[in-house]
Amino acid sequence: MLLIICFFVWTKIKPMRKEKRNKILTILLFAQIGLVYLLSKFPYFIENNYSNGIYKPMSAFFRTIYGAVPFSIGDLIYLSLIVLIIRFLHKLITSKNKKKLVYGFLAGLSVFYFAFYFFWGLNYSRLPLTNSLELEKESYDIENLRAFTDTLLTNISKLQLQTTGSDSLPVVVPYTKNEIIKLTNIGYENLSKKFEQFEYRPTSLKKSLFSLPLTYMGFAGYLNPLTGEAQVDYLIPKVTLPMTCSHEVAHQLGIASESEANFIGFLAASLHPDPYFQYSANLLALRYALSDIYRFDPELYETYIEKLPKGVMINIKELQEFWLKYKNPAEPLFKAFYNNYLLLNQQEDGLESYNKMVDLLIAYHHKYL
């Protein structure tokens, strides 16, 4: 990837024809793909020199620059890229010189590929969190899962009663969505006291300008690697927004794995002094744990469902109804695309990696609680 930096410096010194530049950038695209693959075989190098090296100050710089802007610069860049792609496809259909257009497209893709991996994407190849947190992540049995689920059930029952005063009432978060976004960093302040690598300053967490299409795609948030901004779906129910915000911040801090981002997001939200943040974290973890219990023993799953306070079940049904309302034939296509994207970036379980947070939480629970 350093080759592409040298190339841009060279073009400033010695101007060249656009066609020649595009061909060189196309060659560099394939060189970068090979280099990224090679680097993925050296996770210790990535961990020490990238994730805990140049990425940290670079990410803080981006969050400083873009965090001061009230709207998402990254979303505007995405919008511009969509317009350019549509323009390219139109020209490709109507133009006679398709070879020239393809070189131009691949040259642009080369620049995007470099920005993606240099600004954030190399975090996919870092060491797993089990190394830095010294966790013994092993396959758990039903007894481990039951013990952990019992803890979550106790936590969420207390939080539900604390915030509503009655076990039959659903939790209603009293804050605006903007307030939830602004409060998210407090959980990371507490988490950084235990693990200093998760210090979150400055902040750059925003609502997505694409919240409606994002909801139809079935996603609640994302990180823009080009600007370091974390975006959340502004339409999702408030009860799940604190955990979603905490998840996206974990990505900002260089946690690329979805299961690890869920895990760190849970820790940050559960360490938040606000009970609504704690409830949001425990609600997500409990849903994943119950999903795992169902795979082990459907009858045991039903006994846990019966134990849940009525108010918690109402919250769960509200979330299910929200996503059902936006379900559409195109959603599986978007999820299939993202699943393949994760597989290409060292995430062996694809979209199922979200559920793997339970493994990490049980390992954490054994060591620290």
Does residue 104 contact residue 335 with C-beta atoms inside 8 Å? no
Residues 159 and 287 in one domain: yes
- The position carrying tokens 């996503």 is 323
Residues 88 and 146 in one domain: no
Residues 134 and 173 in one domain: yes
The C-alpha atoms of residue 249 and residue 81 are separated, in whole angstroms, by 24
pLDDT of the residue at 353: 55
pLDDT of the residue at 142: 86
96: alpha, beta or left? (left if phi > 0; alpha if psi -120 to 50)? alpha
pLDDT of the residue at 50: 97
pLDDT of the residue at 350: 56
Residues 170 and 187 in one domain: yes
Collect contacts of 134-142 with beta carbons under 8 A, ≥24 apart.
Answer: 134/367, 135/360, 135/363, 135/364, 135/367, 136/363, 136/366, 136/367, 137/359, 137/360, 137/363, 138/363, 139/359, 140/358, 140/359, 140/362, 142/293, 142/296, 142/297, 142/300
pLDDT of the residue at 93: 86
Residues 63 and 181 in one domain: no
Print pLDDT tens along the chain (369 aa).
Answer: 444 444 454 444 444 577 888 889 999 999 999 999 999 999 999 999 999 999 999 999 999 999 989 899 999 999 999 998 899 888 888 887 888 888 888 999 999 999 999 999 999 999 999 998 988 866 778 888 999 999 999 999 999 999 999 999 999 999 999 999 999 999 999 999 999 999 999 999 999 999 999 999 999 999 999 999 999 999 999 999 999 999 999 999 999 999 999 999 999 999 999 999 999 999 999 999 999 899 889 999 999 999 999 999 999 999 999 999 999 998 888 778 777 777 777 666 655 655 678 889 998 988 877
Does residue 118 contact residue 1 with C-beta atoms inside 8 Å? yes
pLDDT of the residue at 1: 42
Residues 148 and 114 in one domain: no
pLDDT of the residue at 3: 41
Last residue of a domain, one of 125, 154, 171: 125
- Domains held by the chain: number: 2
Residues 117 and 154 in one domain: no
Residues 104 and 11 in one domain: yes
Residues 218 and 347 in one domain: yes
Last residue of a domain, one of 125, 153, 188: 125
Domain membership of residue 181 as a residue range:
130-368
Structural element, H or E, at residue 184: helix 177-194
